[in-house]
Chain A
Amino acid sequence: MSESALAERPAATPSADVPLLEITGIVKAFPGVVALDHVGFRLRAGTVHALMGENGAGKSTLMKIIAGVYTPDEGTVRVKGKPVVLRSPLDALNNGIAMIHQELNLMPFMTVAENIWIRREPLTRLGLVDHGELRRRTQTLFERLAIDIDPEIEVRRLSIANRQMVEIAKAVSFDSDVLIMDEPTSALTEKEVEHLFRIVRQLRVQGKGIVYITHKMNELFEIADEVSVFRDGRFIGTKLSSELTRDEVIRMMVGREVTQMFPKEQVPIGEVVLSVRNLGLKNVFHDVSFDLRAGEILGLAGLVGSGRSNVAEALFGVVPATSGEILIDGKKVAINSPGLAMRHGMAFLTEDRKETGCFLLLDILANMDMAVLSHRYVKFGFVRSRPLQHDCDEMGRSLRIKTPSLQEVIQNLSGGNQQKVLISRWLMTQPRILLLDEPTRGIDVGAKAEIHRLVTQLAGKGVAVLMISSEMPEVLGMSDRVMVMHEGRVTGIVDRKDADQVKIMELASH
């Protein structure tokens, strides 16, 4: 079958030396961070090109630029040697670039065929949708890809894997030459992955170029022809996967000096404050056990989706755990709401500043005091605003929050200052256990250093800190020990003196 498909559809490139897709000198900056710094790579027809890199290395930003979601600040994108400007996903599609997103974009209450041909439905003479033709087209497409799904079934009845197949078929239906797959196997079983790879190989034979983003080392060697590695928004290199070993890839991904940006002070480590025993949340994470001591900073590393944030959410009662025990000061506690966790002296700085952190419409004062009001500064229900305002002012000064006054709306602050306000929200409650989820994500270097210093100071005062971070230097620089998670399980806890990037990457990708 693949032979005949190849005969019908010869390789799309006019000449073998012109790459299907070539990008050069791409720069993209977001407020406070340079996500991509003069990045480039080339994709050749008939190859699978894997992109590797840690979280935040810039892969996703790059893919979004190629797919027309973001426009770059600098640099050029060439399709078959011709420079193009991609202002929207539609532009990208028209230039033969289709992206299969990590989060699927299908409409659950429409049929498979309707989803694939949406906005391109074949019409009858009366201008109505020609359902017969729609089904025939879908069947032809599916035959070409060896997909076995009923075109008339509603998408919501399909498994995640089958939805993925439909997405791929949809991308192919545009006759795109370039297909971008962003971690397509993250929700698939082994068998489904095999099927996916069969399809990918078929597409390769048909002369398509496939950009394949993955975190999984074994997939890389199974499916990819070439590998490009990114780190901290920079392009590190492209190699043939046949010439690479697993260790070399890891070294390319992490190979950097740990700078002395992190003022780690050795502070006396105290008693165990928080013990976690076999904590689990059904289908999310399992058997998580660790001890956290006063004055200790325990780093929690792992890829996005490894269950790191879910553990913190369970500890704080946002989504309570379904199995296992939490002990505070050796006593078993049941934590099923954030209010209870706070009563046990916990505080939780969430990962997503906008979604679960800031009250964007409210002023800084309200953002600072919302947690502490549950316990202090209130008499007969009335807020004692004078001492509250005084203490918040003090807190704002000591954290050097840059604002004319606390009556300013938090929306107007920079990311770093917003993060400082959120940290003060929790410091106001004088916590003994501080859970930090990506405390420095998306903020500038100066504010980052200040937050690192602050966390170190807090540990010095005997606060027990659990710090989730995707930034390897931060984890290594700040932590006394590093716990690593992979697919919902703890794969290791490493002491500071034994921890290095290669070891942690290995545990994280297992």
Chain B
Amino acid sequence: MIVNQFLVLGALLFSLGIYGVLVRRNAILVLLSVELMLAAVNINFVAFGSYLPDAFASGHVFALFVIAVAAAEVGIGLAIVLLIFRNRSSANVDELDLMKW
């Protein structure tokens, strides 16, 4: 296995996630696309961790950190979406124009 195959796969998944973040209206689907981007980053971390094995297994440890932070992010994100839905009966990001001048 060469390094580049993982880098290309990670880039592909990351840009799919960017497309999803930009094009989706529903806030939950935006969060789903963000998860896709985080998975792409994790692939890069683990691939580099295996490519440059050091005494601390740094790449793999950082992938674990990314997973933990992503779990926290989803919890808070969904709570915020839930709150917005409760207040405005809609979870569409283009209808949230409270801070728009």
A in complex with B? no
- Residues of chain A whose beta carbon lies under 8 Å from any beta carbon of chain B: none
- Residues of chain B whose beta carbon lies under 8 Å from any beta carbon of chain A: none
